[in-house]
Homo-oligomer: A and B are copies of this chain.
Amino acid sequence: MSCEVKLIAATADATRVVAAAAKLCYSASRASDLYDGLDADKVKNFLRQLRSVGHMSPFEHASFTFAIDGLSRVASHQLVRHRIASFSQQSQRYVTMGAPCAVVPDEIAKNPEATALFERAANESHAAYERLVAMGVPKEDARFILPHGWETSLVMTMNARELNHFFALRLCRRAQWEIRCLARKMLALVRESSPELFDPTGPSCVAEGRCREAHPCGQPYESVEALLVSDD
């Protein structure tokens, strides 16, 4: 079981906006003429150059908004630690948690006995929640008994600079599996929408060609493409 992600909004013509903003820093042209002469090839070369010198601030002008469903609150608690981002999350204070709905980690799902144990416990927690609500306990208090793995939904916006940073941290094999899975889906979406803004991107093995982790996993990704189709 894993989260679903949709790209619901993005800066129109994001790549050219980033290139134009970057060009302004070094050019005598006016901000309002910046698009003049910026053809696709120039844009591509320019963005590659920016990345190579670490001049990432122009990437902030492009924003991407995702709708995320089926993510556990374990993962959303990590996710909202990214402070250069905007979040709207379904509230358990206002929304009644209907049917049992916890994310089952693969390490549990692959073991039938563990799965049965997990699901029984999740169902019982949800039953306790419902009984507490029936007793008159406010749902904002009854939810304390729901599993931490309960599903949530969010709308999240990040700019392309922060996304590159997010992918560097969260696509590493050392990251928690669920947020990696989310990051992989996000990356597939933005690569479709604005490939030049995320080329290369990802953990240091892909983006820099060498691992910067203190304890390397020993299985560096060979390319962004390899990373995108990986399921471990």
Residue numbers of A with Cβ under 8 A of B are 4, 6, 8-14, 17, 20-22, 24-28, 30-32, 34-35, 52-54, 57-58, 60-61, 63, 65, 67-69, 72-74, 76-77, 80-81, 83-84, 86-96, 98, 102-108, 111, 113-114, 117-118, 120-122, 124-125, 128, 131-132, 135, 137-138, 140-150, 153-155, 157, 159, 176, 212-215
Contacts and interface: CB of A to CB of B under 8 A. Distances in A.
A27 B145 contact: no
B31 A61 contact: no
B118 A128 contact: yes
Contacts of A138: 107
Given A25-B89, A54-B214, 11 more contacts: A8-B34, A10-B12, A25-B88, A28-B95, A61-B155, A76-B77, A77-B77, A106-B141, A108-B132, A118-B132, A147-B147
A193 to B, nearest CB: 11
Contacts of A30: 4, 67, 69, 153
B214 A53 contact: yes
A155 B125 contact: no
Contacts of A6: 31-32
A26 B6 CA distance: 20
A17 B157 CA distance: 10
> What 9 A-B pairs are tightest by C-beta distance, nearest first?
A144-B149, A60-B86, A31-B67, A121-B128, A105-B141, A21-B88, A21-B155, A83-B83, A53-B214
B24 A140 contact: no
B63 A11 contact: yes
Contacts of A26: 91, 94-95
B77 A61 contact: no
B135 A111 contact: yes
A117 B142 CA distance: 11
A90 B148 contact: no
6 contacts: A4-B32, A21-B155, A57-B86, A107-B141, A122-B145, A125-B145
